[in-house]
């Protein structure tokens, strides 16, 4: 399938992949969230702290938004946060659905395994 219909599937909660990617490599949508500033960690906490000091804000909000984004699960069992499609990805016609949630169940309870990309 082309990238456009694959992107529509991604927005519906599907995991999608390209046929030439390694086994276990796929992308998925991470919905945005609103979290407590106090749970930020590592560089995000440092950057947020710098921003707050630089802006000299009063009445600092206790929460911060994390925008929706696409992540990639890789074949070495790691996650790339904020995956961005290349031109080759957007022009490819070898996309397929790896996992498609049932309409009423968007958890992985009914996951039956990796779909055959053929």
pLDDT by residue for the chain (118 residues), tens only, comes to: 999 999 999 999 999 999 999 999 999 999 999 998 888 888 888 888 888 777 776 677 788 899 999 999 999 999 999 999 999 999 999 999 999 998 645 555 555 444 444 4
Question: What does the pLDDT read at residue 102?
Answer: 81
On whether both 87 and 98 belong to a single domain, the answer is yes
From the CA atom positions of the chain, what is the Rg in Å?
Answer: 18
Range of the domain at 61: 35-66
**Dihedral, CA of residue 67, residue 68, residue 74 and residue 78, to nearest 10:** 40
Judgement on whether residues 88 and 104 belong to the same structural domain of the protein: yes
- Check whether residue 117 and residue 73 sit in a common domain: yes
Say whether both 21 and 75 belong to one domain. yes
The rounded distance, in Å, linking the Cα atoms of 103 and 98 is 16
> What local confidence, expressed as pLDDT, does residue 57 receive?
66
Q: Quick one: 103 and 115 in the same domain? A: yes
Instruction: Quote the number of domains for the chain.
Output: 2
Pair (45, 26) in one structural domain = no
């Amino acid at each position: 399938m082309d990238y456009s219909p694959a992107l529509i599937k991604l927005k519906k909660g599907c995991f999608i992949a390209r046929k030439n990617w390694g086994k276990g490599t796929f992308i998925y949508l991470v919905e945005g969230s609103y979290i407590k500033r106090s749970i930020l960690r590592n560089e995000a906490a440092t950057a947020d702290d710098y921003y707050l000091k630089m802006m000299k804000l009063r009445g600092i909000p206790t929460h911060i938004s994390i925008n929706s984004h696409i992540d990639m699960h890789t074949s070495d069992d790691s996650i790339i946060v904020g995956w961005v499609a290349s031109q080759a990805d957007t022009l490819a016609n070898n996309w397929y659905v790896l996992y498609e949630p049932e309409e009423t169940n968007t958890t992985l309870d009914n996951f039956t395994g990796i779909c055959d990309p053929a």
